[in-house]
Amino acid sequence: MMRLNQLDNPSLRPRGPEIRPTRPRPARLLARVAGRTAYGLAVLATGMLAAGPARAQSRGPNIIRDAEIETLLRDYTRPIFKAAGLTQQNIKVVLIGDDSFNAFVADGKRIFINTGALKQAKTPNEVIGVLAHETGHIAGGHLARQREMLESAQTAAIVGMLLAAGGVAAGAASGTNMGGAAAGAMMMPQDMMRRTILSYRREQEMAADRSAISFLNATKQSAAGMLTTFERFENEQMFISQRVDPYVLSHPMAADRIALLSNLAHKSPYFNAKDSPALQARHDMMRAKLVGYTETPDAVNRTYSPSDTSLPARYARAISAYRYGSIPGAISQIDALIATQPSNPYFYELKGQALLEAGRAREAVPPLRQAVKLSGGNPLIRMLLGQALVATDNKAVMDEAVRELTFSLQREPDSPAGWRYLAMAYGDKGDIPNADLASAQSAFVGGDYALAKELASRARTKFPLGSPGWLKADDIVKFTPPPSSRAQRRP
């Protein structure tokens, strides 16, 4: 199920208001919840694409969670990370809801990739090439080196400006025009610093390209997908290439990259290697899911014509029907998908999501239980099952809800909504100390530190001194928020 995000993202909520309890609320309210959270990120990014000016954003990008897509991306990256010697670093691929074709790294732990890249890439190999390039940045330690260069450049700029400022003072004292010359010189260190940093960035990009080729060769995969990607970039740059100074770009011109990549790629004995049919089928289903969730019904029909009876086309139409059409019609289409592939956990997950968001939580539980079973206990699906169990308003299943939510939050601890549903489950059980503690953890991971401290302080008084619950609450009470968050007030 595409949680753009079912538990955590309000941007695509077709039904019902989001509920943000500060204390345990009646579980029946959850039947109206399709809560989804947008996460804001401030990143120093080393990206693979700089074909045009960056768009100003008033808030951070929309982070998307989806069990099916994340599983596929892990399968794409696992052999690449092994070839790069990064298996032990627990690197995650994070999906951003943006239709542009882009990917970047912000640290040594995460690769960010846009939904637009996944929708536009026709083969797994194209996406794998992108991920291999970003892995090259991590393996090469480019972000750490970039920070060192920025620090060195800053020192050089300060010295240059101080020397130039001295020239301004000397010119003013002597009555000569040295001041004007020195004032112009003040700008030179900044321009030189900028060009030096950009030159270094271009070198990083070319190095990441070469690393990507080596990773693909080591895993017996083709670099043809990388060439396809950069040919796309070249087409985007054609109309500006005659007017742009290549020395003020942070990335090499696409034509230069293609020349290097084409030479290296064609030397590989695996250049003509193809993705397996099974992997291509999963890739096609991923693209269909993204289209179904992010496009209007008209756009879905343009991408997958009504006469297209392929499984991806049916998947996209079923998702679109649940989001925009009648639930009975959508369930009928989803049941037809299940009949075609009865062992596909994501079809059961989709059915459970559709029923849950329609306020039919009790009907949502059986397909979600089956999705959990078939997926091998995927934590995101278990979190959705926990939400459905809470929404049944049936106290007999609250122990199961607590178990499912606790398991999923051990692996996905940064979900404010997951903690809220756990608080509600504990509230229905009458376990107020743990309900308050879960509410405090929800507020904490959501960044509302004032509310988190208030709830944790209340919970701490209800736990035995030194018990696990008391210690968790005490940690929140004693937490010192970062300076940028200390002035936060509750809405």
The whole-number average pLDDT for the span 19-45 is 28
Sign of CA dihedral 354, 359, 363, 368: positive
**Domain edge (last residue) among 215, 243, 267:** 267
Percentage of residues in the chain with pLDDT exceeding 90? 59
65 belongs to a structural domain? no
Note down the domain range covering 451: 431-491
Binning pLDDT at 50, 70 and 90, where does residue 22 land?
Answer: very low
What pLDDT does 241 receive?
33
**Domain edge (last residue) among 219, 251, 267:** 267
Residue 45 has pLDDT above 50, yes or no: no
441 belongs to a structural domain? yes
164 belongs to a structural domain? yes
Which range, of 233-242, 314-323, 467-476, averages the lowest pLDDT? 233-242
The whole-number average pLDDT for the span 390-398 is 96
Whether 441 and 452 have beta carbons less than 8 Å apart is answered as yes
What is the chain's length? 491
385 belongs to a structural domain? no
Residue 149 has pLDDT above 60, yes or no: no
Token output for 227: 């060439």
**Domain edge (last residue) among 239, 267, 295:** 267
Token output for 280: 């291509």
Residue 88 has pLDDT above 80, yes or no: yes
Whether 103 and 49 have beta carbons less than 8 Å apart is answered as yes
Structural domains in the chain (count): 2
51 belongs to a structural domain? no
**Residues 395-409 pLDDT 10s:** 999 999 999 999 999
45 belongs to a structural domain? no
477 belongs to a structural domain? yes
307 belongs to a structural domain? no
Q: Which residue has the higher pLDDT, 36 or 466?
A: 466
Residue 7 has pLDDT above 70, yes or no: no
**Residues 257-270 pLDDT 10s:** 778 788 888 899 99
**Residues 288-309 pLDDT 10s:** 999 999 999 999 999 999 999 9
The whole-number average pLDDT for the span 148-171 is 51
Q: Using H for helix, E for strand and C for coil, what is the string for the chain?
A: CEECCCCCCHHHCCCCCCCCCCCCCCHHHHHHCCCCCCCCCCCCCEECCCCCCCCCCCCCCCEEEEHHHHHHHHHHHHHHHHHHCCHHHCCEEEEECCCCCCEEECCCCEEEEEHHHHHHCCCHHHHHHHHHHHHHHHHCCHHHHHHHHHHHHHHHHHHHHHHHHHHHHHHHHHCCCHHHHHHHHHHHHHHHHHHHHHHHHHHHHHHHHHHHHHHHHHCCCCCHHHHHHHHHHHHHHCCCCCCCCHHHCCCCCHHHHHHHHHHHHHHCCCCCCCCCHHHHHHHHHHHHHHHHHHCCHHHHHHHCCCCCCCHHHHHHHHHHHHHHCCHHHHHHHHHHHHHHCCCCHHHHHHHHHHHHHCCCHHHHHHHHHHHHHHCCCCHHHHHHHHHHHHHCCCHHHHHHHHHHHHHHHHHCCCCHHHHHHHHHHHHHHCCHHHHHHHHHHHHHHCCCHHHHHHHHHHHHCCCCCCCHHHHHHHHHHHCCCCHHHCCCCCC
Whether 371 and 345 have beta carbons less than 8 Å apart is answered as yes
pTM of the model: 0.77
**Residues 105-136 pLDDT 10s:** 887 889 999 999 999 999 999 999 999 999 99
Q: Which residue has the higher pLDDT, 443 or 38?
A: 443
Residue 327 has pLDDT above 60, yes or no: yes
